[in-house]
Structure 1
Amino acid sequence: MTTQTVTLQGLCAVYGAGARRVTALDGVTTSFAGGTFTAVMGPSGSGKSTLLHCAAGLDKPTAGTVTIDGRRLDDLGEDELTRLRRDRIGFVFQAFNLVSSLTAAENVELPLRLARHRPPARDVLAALDTVGLTDRAGHRPSELSGGEQQRVAVARALITRPAVVFADEPTGALDSTASQQILRLLRALVDDHRQTVVMVTHDPAAAAYADRVLLLADGRIVDELTGGITATVVAARIAERETAPAGSAVESSC
């Protein structure tokens, strides 16, 4: 039986009211199994980043439930939610969010330091080894390339051995070579370490590294790709949806 690391049930995210009401997520139900890599795609305003932020407990949905590692987020108090995000969720963003005055090793251990834990040096080096940067442990961000900085960010996300890693456009600020390094790294986390990865991306080539691609539009999951995923297949499916005749309006479930 496949374990679902993250489950979203009837997720709604509504902002504003009246004429300014915006439904960013409209009754989204899906799950992300352990040891899988899912890419979330869609046009600007489709709700993909909102989905990621709600799933990760960074934003609170208007309605619906998020369950991570068997725990419903709406059952948790603020302190419990903070601990869950710190201990069981890893984050990788487009901006590397490294502290410029700290070395790579110090940036990796920062989440545990903030939690008043001192990780063993071997754990920090193991995280850096996972991303191929043990030889750069003593370097500060200014001494690292963009791709190396993002790899440090990935190592930082892994130091707590999280249940899931959420990545929001992790290659958006990188050149093609560095992007491929990061995507191969995320793929290896799934294949070699059975990590669960959920990545928002606009790039079909990045999505091709995933086991599954979810396509969002108007806050809903409108399509799903599994098996035989290539950049060409993803791009073609997106193009099909963009050129398809508009259907009848669907009443919001939120």
Structure 2
Amino acid sequence: MTTQTAVLHDIRAGYGTGDRQLVALDGVSVAFDRGTFTAVMGPSGSGKSTLLHCAAGLERPLAGSVSIDGVRLDDLTEDQLTRLRRDRVGFVFQAFNLVSALTAEQNVALPARLAGRRPPAADVAAALAAVGLAGRRRHRPSELSGGEQQRVAVARALLSRPAVVFADEPTGALDSVTSRQILDLLRGLVDEQGQTVVMVTHDPVAAARADRIVFLADGRIADDVRSPLAPEQIAARTARLVAGPC
């Protein structure tokens, strides 16, 4: 088993063509180790979301290669890529993306059911228990707080026991207390279950919970910090990236 769950090598991604092409990632190489929590930060337009989408197989880069759990995504057909994302990748977004008419357990099971599979009830229950919602499995989104809804989204991401969970601003729609609870949850998944988490965030407090912070600027890696930083230090580094070279 590889020690790296996701590897991006010399990734170039962009939008448009010719003179109108906008470069989002310009030769980015980065690997995410198994059982670690990485935060990806940078100014608006730095390429954070594009990096996440390429790493997760949601978007194919213009050049370079991406591997998840040892499988090269550029070697896969669209059907094969869809199956790999379904089985080996978990997603958590700022919007909870829950179906209002379904209960928590039905929302957790929904992606598998849409793929034509019936997940074991015990697996659904275990995913909800892992995020502290064992007693709320039959509640609908309107009966849950924002933090509880995001916990359902995390449980949904965990159901397939993914190699890596990609989180795009998972606390962006939450208040500070609820954000801390979600970050505690993600931190616990890494520390207690060996889950790999890659999180895009603009929040220095959220990034401070990670093992590593990858800073992007203008589509390139500007810094890669593997030692703990305080939120104030993270904010200062991000501000310098926004300001650019003096």
TM-score using structure 2 length: 0.97
**Which residue matches 1:227?**
227
Q: Following the alignment from structure 2 to structure 1, what is the Cα–Cα distance between the partners of residues 63 and 9? A: 9
CA RMSD of aligned residues (A): 1.3
| Letter in structure 2 aligned against 1:130 | A
Q: CA deviation at 1:239?
A: 2.7
**Which residue matches 1:10?**
10
**Which residue matches 2:86?**
86
| Letter in structure 2 aligned against 1:100 | S
Deviating 4+ runs (over 6 angstroms): none
**Which residue matches 1:204?**
204
Q: CA deviation at 1:119?
A: 1.6
Q: Following the alignment from structure 1 to structure 2, what is the Cα–Cα distance between the partners of residues 245 and 46? A: 15
Contact 1:100–1:140, Cα closer than 8 Å, also in 2: yes
Q: CA deviation at 1:18?
A: 3.4
State the secondary structure of the residue aligned to 2:66.
strand
Deviates more, 1:161-170 or 1:103-112: 103-112
| Letter in structure 1 aligned against 2:120 | P
**Which residue matches 2:160?**
160
| Letter in structure 2 aligned against 1:89 | V
| Letter in structure 2 aligned against 1:157 | A
Identify unmatched segments of 5+ residues in structure 1: 247-254
State the secondary structure of the residue aligned to 1:153.
helix
Q: Following the alignment from structure 1 to structure 2, what is the Cα–Cα distance between the partners of residues 2 and 122? A: 29
**Which residue matches 2:68?**
68
**Which residue matches 2:26?**
26
Q: Following the alignment from structure 2 to structure 1, what is the Cα–Cα distance between the partners of residues 112 and 198? A: 22
Contact 2:108–2:159, Cα closer than 8 Å, also in 1: yes
Asked if 1:146 is matched to 2:109, the reply is no
Contact 2:43–2:242, Cα closer than 8 Å, also in 1: no
**Which residue matches 1:189?**
189
Identify unmatched segments of 5+ residues in structure 2: none
Contact 1:211–1:229, Cα closer than 8 Å, also in 2: no
Q: Following the alignment from structure 2 to structure 1, what is the Cα–Cα distance between the partners of residues 30 and 230? A: 22
Q: CA deviation at 1:204?
A: 0.3
- Render the CA deviation track for 1:171-209: whole Å, top value 9, x for unaligned: 000111110111110000100000000000000000001
Q: Following the alignment from structure 2 to structure 1, what is the Cα–Cα distance between the partners of residues 184 and 245? A: 37
State the secondary structure of the residue aligned to 2:238.
helix
TM-score using structure 1 length: 0.94
Contact 2:43–2:238, Cα closer than 8 Å, also in 1: no
**Which residue matches 2:236?**
236
Q: Following the alignment from structure 1 to structure 2, what is the Cα–Cα distance between the partners of residues 14 and 243? A: 23
Asked if 1:134 is matched to 2:150, the reply is no
**Which residue matches 1:58?**
58
- Render the CA deviation track for 1:38-65: whole Å, top value 9, x for unaligned: 0000111000000000110111111110
Q: CA deviation at 1:2?
A: 7.3
State the secondary structure of the residue aligned to 1:166.
strand
Contact 1:37–1:210, Cα closer than 8 Å, also in 2: yes
Aligned residues: 246
Identity of aligned residues (%): 70
State the secondary structure of the residue aligned to 2:58.
coil
Q: CA deviation at 1:20?
A: 1.7
